[in-house]
Protein backbone atom coordinates (compact mmCIF):
# COMPACT_ATOMS: atom_id res chain seq x y z
CA UNK A 1 0.00 0.00 0.00
CA UNK A 2 1.24 3.53 -0.75
CA UNK A 3 1.04 5.64 2.40
CA UNK A 4 1.72 9.34 3.02
CA UNK A 5 2.91 10.47 6.46
CA UNK A 6 2.74 14.20 7.21
CA UNK A 7 5.13 15.34 9.93
CA UNK A 8 7.36 12.41 8.93
CA UNK A 9 10.60 14.08 10.03
CA UNK A 10 9.29 14.74 13.55
CA UNK A 11 9.52 12.62 16.66
CA UNK A 12 6.51 10.29 16.32
CA UNK A 13 6.34 10.60 12.52
CA UNK A 14 9.85 9.24 11.98
CA UNK A 15 9.15 6.22 14.22
CA UNK A 16 5.89 5.61 12.37
CA UNK A 17 7.65 5.73 8.99
CA UNK A 18 10.15 3.09 10.16
CA UNK A 19 7.36 0.85 11.48
CA UNK A 20 5.41 1.11 8.21
CA UNK A 21 8.51 0.27 6.16
CA UNK A 22 9.21 -2.73 8.38
CA UNK A 23 5.63 -3.97 8.44
CA UNK A 24 4.98 -7.02 6.27
CA UNK A 25 2.12 -6.70 3.81
CA UNK A 26 0.79 -10.19 4.42
CA UNK A 27 0.94 -12.76 7.17
CA UNK A 28 3.99 -14.95 6.75
CA UNK A 29 5.88 -12.34 4.74
CA UNK A 30 9.49 -11.70 5.69
CA UNK A 31 9.78 -9.80 8.96
CA UNK A 32 12.64 -7.65 10.11
CA UNK A 33 13.87 -4.20 9.29
CA UNK A 34 12.75 -2.81 5.93
CA UNK A 35 12.48 -6.03 3.87
CA UNK A 36 12.76 -5.38 0.14
CA UNK A 37 11.03 -7.12 -2.76
CA UNK A 38 7.41 -8.05 -3.36
CA UNK A 39 6.75 -9.22 0.17
CA UNK A 40 8.26 -6.10 1.73
CA UNK A 41 6.42 -3.50 3.75
CA UNK A 42 4.50 -0.51 2.50
CA UNK A 43 5.67 2.22 0.14
CA UNK A 44 5.94 5.35 2.28
CA UNK A 45 6.07 9.02 1.28
CA UNK A 46 7.22 11.37 4.04
CA UNK A 47 5.91 14.94 3.86
CA UNK A 48 7.29 17.62 6.17
CA UNK A 49 8.25 21.31 6.00
CA UNK A 50 11.14 20.67 8.45
CA UNK A 51 10.07 23.57 10.68
CA UNK A 52 10.94 21.42 13.69
CA UNK A 53 11.51 18.00 12.13
CA UNK A 54 14.99 16.88 11.12
CA UNK A 55 16.22 14.79 8.19
CA UNK A 56 18.54 12.95 10.64
CA UNK A 57 15.39 11.39 12.11
CA UNK A 58 14.78 9.77 8.72
CA UNK A 59 18.36 8.55 8.17
CA UNK A 60 17.44 4.84 8.54
CA UNK A 61 14.19 5.16 6.59
CA UNK A 62 16.01 6.92 3.73
CA UNK A 63 18.06 3.77 3.13
CA UNK A 64 14.91 1.96 1.98
CA UNK A 65 13.99 2.06 -1.72
CA UNK A 66 10.36 2.15 -0.62
CA UNK A 67 10.76 5.51 1.11
CA UNK A 68 10.66 8.93 -0.53
CA UNK A 69 10.56 12.39 1.03
CA UNK A 70 8.90 15.62 -0.06
CA UNK A 71 9.76 18.87 1.66
CA UNK A 72 6.48 20.77 1.73
CA UNK A 73 3.97 22.55 3.90
CA UNK A 74 0.54 21.08 4.63
CA UNK A 75 -0.89 24.56 4.11
CA UNK A 76 0.38 24.55 0.51
CA UNK A 77 -2.08 22.58 -1.69
CA UNK A 78 0.11 23.07 -4.79
CA UNK A 79 2.66 20.73 -3.22
CA UNK A 80 0.43 18.65 -0.98
CA UNK A 81 -2.21 17.55 -3.52
CA UNK A 82 0.27 16.11 -6.08
CA UNK A 83 2.12 14.42 -3.19
CA UNK A 84 -1.06 12.40 -2.50
CA UNK A 85 -1.20 10.88 -6.00
CA UNK A 86 -1.76 7.12 -5.75
CA UNK A 87 -1.80 7.27 -1.94
CA UNK A 88 -4.31 4.96 -0.25
CA UNK A 89 -3.81 5.97 3.36
CA UNK A 90 -2.65 9.18 5.03
CA UNK A 91 -1.28 9.40 8.56
CA UNK A 92 -1.57 13.07 9.40
CA UNK A 93 0.87 14.04 12.15
CA UNK A 94 2.15 17.47 11.03
CA UNK A 95 0.95 19.96 13.60
CA UNK A 96 1.87 22.60 16.09
CA UNK A 97 2.09 20.14 19.00
CA UNK A 98 2.73 22.60 21.85
CA UNK A 99 -0.06 23.15 24.40
CA UNK A 100 1.63 25.95 26.32
CA UNK A 101 2.46 27.95 23.18
CA UNK A 102 -1.13 27.58 21.91
CA UNK A 103 -2.22 29.94 24.72
CA UNK A 104 0.45 32.48 23.77
CA UNK A 105 -0.18 32.26 20.00
CA UNK A 106 -3.73 30.97 19.42
CA UNK A 107 -3.70 31.73 15.68
CA UNK A 108 -0.84 29.32 15.09
CA UNK A 109 -2.53 26.18 16.48
CA UNK A 110 -5.70 27.16 14.57
CA UNK A 111 -3.85 27.51 11.27
CA UNK A 112 -1.58 24.49 11.65
CA UNK A 113 -4.01 22.10 13.29
CA UNK A 114 -7.46 23.11 12.05
CA UNK A 115 -6.77 24.62 8.61
CA UNK A 116 -3.83 22.23 8.18
CA UNK A 117 -5.95 19.14 8.89
CA UNK A 118 -8.64 20.45 6.55
CA UNK A 119 -6.04 20.89 3.78
CA UNK A 120 -4.76 17.34 4.21
CA UNK A 121 -8.32 15.95 4.20
CA UNK A 122 -9.02 17.91 1.02
CA UNK A 123 -5.91 16.50 -0.63
CA UNK A 124 -7.06 13.01 0.45
CA UNK A 125 -10.48 13.61 -1.12
CA UNK A 126 -9.11 15.08 -4.36
CA UNK A 127 -6.68 12.20 -4.85
CA UNK A 128 -9.07 9.43 -3.77
CA UNK A 129 -7.31 8.22 -0.60
CA UNK A 130 -9.32 5.55 1.20
CA UNK A 131 -8.32 6.10 4.80
CA UNK A 132 -7.09 8.93 6.99
CA UNK A 133 -5.51 8.89 10.42
CA UNK A 134 -5.27 11.93 12.69
CA UNK A 135 -2.97 12.02 15.69
CA UNK A 136 -5.25 13.64 18.21
CA UNK A 137 -4.70 14.09 21.90
CA UNK A 138 -5.94 13.51 25.45
CA UNK A 139 -6.39 17.30 25.59
CA UNK A 140 -9.73 16.96 23.71
CA UNK A 141 -11.26 15.91 27.08
CA UNK A 142 -10.01 18.95 29.01
CA UNK A 143 -10.44 18.54 32.80
CA UNK A 144 -12.12 15.14 32.59
CA UNK A 145 -14.32 14.18 35.53
CA UNK A 146 -13.98 10.47 34.88
CA UNK A 147 -10.49 9.04 35.47
CA UNK A 148 -9.44 6.86 33.64
CA UNK A 149 -11.23 8.75 30.87
CA UNK A 150 -13.05 6.64 28.25
CA UNK A 151 -13.56 7.68 24.61
CA UNK A 152 -17.24 8.36 25.41
CA UNK A 153 -16.45 11.09 27.99
CA UNK A 154 -17.54 14.69 27.31
CA UNK A 155 -15.23 16.57 24.93
CA UNK A 156 -14.50 19.95 26.49
CA UNK A 157 -10.93 21.13 25.84
CA UNK A 158 -9.35 23.69 28.16
CA UNK A 159 -6.51 24.61 25.77
CA UNK A 160 -6.45 26.07 22.26
CA UNK A 161 -4.34 23.10 21.23
CA UNK A 162 -7.04 20.69 22.51
CA UNK A 163 -9.73 22.67 20.69
CA UNK A 164 -7.72 22.56 17.46
CA UNK A 165 -7.31 18.77 17.71
CA UNK A 166 -11.01 18.31 18.41
CA UNK A 167 -11.95 20.47 15.42
CA UNK A 168 -9.65 18.29 13.32
CA UNK A 169 -11.41 15.16 14.62
CA UNK A 170 -14.81 16.62 13.71
CA UNK A 171 -13.62 17.31 10.16
CA UNK A 172 -12.35 13.74 9.95
CA UNK A 173 -15.80 12.46 10.96
CA UNK A 174 -17.50 14.73 8.43
CA UNK A 175 -15.18 13.64 5.60
CA UNK A 176 -15.68 9.99 6.56
CA UNK A 177 -19.46 10.29 6.34
CA UNK A 178 -19.62 12.68 3.37
CA UNK A 179 -16.93 11.21 1.12
CA UNK A 180 -16.43 7.67 2.40
CA UNK A 181 -12.83 8.23 3.57
CA UNK A 182 -12.48 5.93 6.58
CA UNK A 183 -11.05 8.09 9.37
CA UNK A 184 -9.36 7.24 12.66
CA UNK A 185 -8.47 9.62 15.47
CA UNK A 186 -5.82 8.31 17.86
CA UNK A 187 -5.97 10.28 21.11
CA UNK A 188 -2.48 10.13 22.55
CA UNK A 189 -1.50 10.60 26.18
CA UNK A 190 2.02 12.06 26.60
CA UNK A 191 4.28 10.16 24.22
CA UNK A 192 8.01 10.09 24.92
CA UNK A 193 11.16 8.45 23.61
CA UNK A 194 14.14 8.89 21.32
CA UNK A 195 13.92 11.95 18.99
CA UNK A 196 11.32 13.74 21.11
CA UNK A 197 12.10 17.45 20.95
CA UNK A 198 9.74 18.67 23.67
CA UNK A 199 8.11 17.65 26.94
CA UNK A 200 8.83 17.50 30.65
CA UNK A 201 11.57 14.84 30.49
CA UNK A 202 13.62 16.75 27.96
CA UNK A 203 13.12 19.94 29.94
CA UNK A 204 14.35 18.31 33.18
CA UNK A 205 17.31 16.65 31.47
CA UNK A 206 18.69 19.93 30.09
CA UNK A 207 17.93 21.92 33.23
CA UNK A 208 19.81 19.34 35.32
CA UNK A 209 22.72 19.34 32.89
CA UNK A 210 22.98 23.08 33.37
CA UNK A 211 22.48 22.99 37.14
CA UNK A 212 22.36 19.63 38.97
CA UNK A 213 21.76 21.37 42.33
CA UNK A 214 18.37 22.95 41.62
CA UNK A 215 15.50 21.99 39.32
CA UNK A 216 12.79 24.48 38.41
CA UNK A 217 9.39 22.83 38.03
CA UNK A 218 6.45 24.53 36.31
CA UNK A 219 3.45 24.20 38.65
CA UNK A 220 3.34 22.51 42.06
CA UNK A 221 4.86 19.23 40.88
CA UNK A 222 1.67 17.30 41.65
CA UNK A 223 0.39 17.18 38.07
CA UNK A 224 -0.30 13.50 37.56
CA UNK A 225 -0.37 12.15 34.01
CA UNK A 226 0.01 9.14 31.75
CA UNK A 227 3.17 8.69 29.63
CA UNK A 228 3.62 6.11 26.90
CA UNK A 229 6.85 5.03 25.20
CA UNK A 230 6.83 5.83 21.48
CA UNK A 231 7.20 2.24 20.19
CA UNK A 232 4.11 1.20 22.13
CA UNK A 233 2.19 4.21 20.79
CA UNK A 234 3.08 3.27 17.21
CA UNK A 235 2.00 -0.37 17.67
CA UNK A 236 -1.33 0.78 19.12
CA UNK A 237 -1.82 3.26 16.26
CA UNK A 238 -1.18 0.67 13.55
CA UNK A 239 -3.48 -1.82 15.24
CA UNK A 240 -6.34 0.68 15.69
CA UNK A 241 -6.20 1.67 12.04
CA UNK A 242 -5.96 -1.90 10.74
CA UNK A 243 -8.84 -3.16 12.86
CA UNK A 244 -11.23 -0.22 12.73
CA UNK A 245 -14.68 -1.13 11.41
CA UNK A 246 -16.63 2.17 11.60
CA UNK A 247 -16.53 5.06 9.11
CA UNK A 248 -15.03 7.21 11.88
CA UNK A 249 -13.72 6.08 15.23
CA UNK A 250 -11.53 7.42 18.04
CA UNK A 251 -9.11 5.39 20.19
CA UNK A 252 -7.36 6.41 23.39
CA UNK A 253 -3.69 5.48 23.42
CA UNK A 254 -1.81 5.75 26.70
CA UNK A 255 -0.44 3.78 29.62
CA UNK A 256 -2.40 2.31 32.52
CA UNK A 257 -0.57 4.26 35.19
CA UNK A 258 0.09 7.94 35.77
CA UNK A 259 3.17 9.65 37.21
CA UNK A 260 3.51 12.87 39.17
CA UNK A 261 5.86 15.54 37.85
CA UNK A 262 7.92 15.45 41.07
CA UNK A 263 8.30 11.67 40.70
CA UNK A 264 9.60 12.14 37.13
CA UNK A 265 11.99 14.83 38.34
CA UNK A 266 13.43 12.52 41.00
CA UNK A 267 13.63 9.57 38.57
CA UNK A 268 15.56 11.63 36.02
CA UNK A 269 17.78 13.18 38.71
CA UNK A 270 18.52 9.65 40.00
CA UNK A 271 19.49 8.38 36.54
CA UNK A 272 21.72 11.46 36.09
CA UNK A 273 23.15 10.97 39.61
CA UNK A 274 22.05 14.49 40.61
CA UNK A 275 20.45 15.54 43.90
CA UNK A 276 18.62 18.78 43.07
CA UNK A 277 16.44 20.89 45.30
CA UNK A 278 13.03 21.02 43.58
CA UNK A 279 11.90 24.64 43.05
CA UNK A 280 8.18 24.75 42.31
CA UNK A 281 7.01 27.72 40.29
CA UNK A 282 3.23 27.73 40.56
CA UNK A 283 -0.11 26.12 41.27
CA UNK A 284 -2.05 23.07 40.13
CA UNK A 285 -1.65 23.88 36.43
CA UNK A 286 1.91 24.09 35.04
CA UNK A 287 0.70 26.70 32.51
CA UNK A 288 -2.52 28.09 31.00
CA UNK A 289 -4.35 25.19 29.34
CA UNK A 290 -2.48 22.51 31.30
CA UNK A 291 -4.58 19.58 32.56
CA UNK A 292 -3.34 18.58 36.04
CA UNK A 293 -4.66 15.00 36.01
CA UNK A 294 -4.74 12.86 32.86
CA UNK A 295 -5.21 9.14 32.57
CA UNK A 296 -6.96 7.63 29.57
CA UNK A 297 -8.96 4.45 29.70
CA UNK A 298 -7.28 2.16 27.16
CA UNK A 299 -9.81 -0.67 27.36
CA UNK A 300 -10.97 -0.10 23.78
CA UNK A 301 -7.53 -0.53 22.19
CA UNK A 302 -6.68 -3.34 24.65
CA UNK A 303 -9.75 -5.25 23.44
CA UNK A 304 -8.04 -5.39 20.03
CA UNK A 305 -5.12 -7.19 21.67
CA UNK A 306 -2.71 -4.30 22.35
CA UNK A 307 -0.63 -4.11 25.54
CA UNK A 308 2.24 -1.69 26.21
CA UNK A 309 5.56 -3.56 26.28
CA UNK A 310 8.08 -1.01 27.56
CA UNK A 311 8.12 -0.20 31.28
CA UNK A 312 8.03 3.51 32.12
CA UNK A 313 11.45 3.54 33.84
CA UNK A 314 13.07 1.60 30.95
CA UNK A 315 11.59 4.02 28.41
CA UNK A 316 12.89 7.01 30.37
CA UNK A 317 16.39 5.47 30.52
CA UNK A 318 16.37 4.84 26.76
CA UNK A 319 15.29 8.43 26.12
CA UNK A 320 17.93 9.92 28.42
CA UNK A 321 20.63 7.75 26.78
CA UNK A 322 19.54 9.12 23.43
CA UNK A 323 19.56 12.71 24.71
CA UNK A 324 23.06 12.21 26.09
CA UNK A 325 24.30 10.78 22.77
CA UNK A 326 22.68 13.48 20.66
Ligand X SMILES: NC(=O)c1ccc[n+]([C@@H]2O[C@H](COP(=O)([O-])OP(=O)(O)OC[C@H]3O[C@@H](n4cnc5c(N)ncnc54)[C@H](O)[C@@H]3O)[C@@H](O)[C@H]2O)c1
Catalytic residue list: 161
Residue in 53, 162, 193, 219 binding ligand X, rule: CB under 6 A: 53
Q: Which residues contact 171 (CB under 8 A, 6 or more apart)?
A: 114, 117, 118, 121
Q: How far is the CB of 179 from ligand X (least distance, A)?
A: 22
User: Judged by CB under 6 A, which of 35, 97, 219, 276 binds ligand X?
Assistant: 97
- Per-residue x/- marks for ligand X, 181-210, CB under 6 A? -------x-xx-----x-------------
Backbone angles phi, psi at 325, to 5 degrees: -80, -15
> How many C-beta neighbours within 10 Å does residue 197 have?
12
Of 19, 22, 61, 93, the one binding ligand X by CB under 6 A: 93
Q: Which stretch binds ligand X (CB under 6 A): 45-53, 101-109, 152-160, 305-313?
A: 45-53
What is the rounded distance in angstroms from the CA atom of residue 244 to the CA atom of residue 173? Answer: 14
Question: CA-CA distance, 192 to 198, in Å (whole number)?
Answer: 9
Distance CA 318, CA 210 (A): 20
Q: What is the DSSP letter of 84?
A: T
218, exposed or middle or buried, with CB in 10 Å at 0-12, 13-18, 19+? Answer: middle
* Least gap, CB of 138 to ligand X (angstroms): 7
Per rule CB under 6 A, is residue 52 in the interface with ligand X? yes
Give the nearest distance from C-beta 270 to ligand X in angstroms.
Answer: 23
> Which residues bind to ligand X, rule: CB under 6 A?
6-7, 9-13, 48-53, 73-75, 93-95, 97, 112, 116, 135, 137, 188, 190-191, 197
Amino acid sequence: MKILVTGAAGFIGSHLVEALLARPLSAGAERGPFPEGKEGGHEVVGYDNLCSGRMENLADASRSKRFSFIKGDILDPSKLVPACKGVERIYHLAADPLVKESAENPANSFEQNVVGTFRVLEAARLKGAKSFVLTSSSTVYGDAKEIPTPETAPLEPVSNYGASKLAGEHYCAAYAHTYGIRATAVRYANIFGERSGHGVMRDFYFKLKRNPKELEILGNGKQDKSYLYVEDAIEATLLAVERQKLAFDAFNIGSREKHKVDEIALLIAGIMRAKPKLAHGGGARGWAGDVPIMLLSTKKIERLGWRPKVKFEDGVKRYLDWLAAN
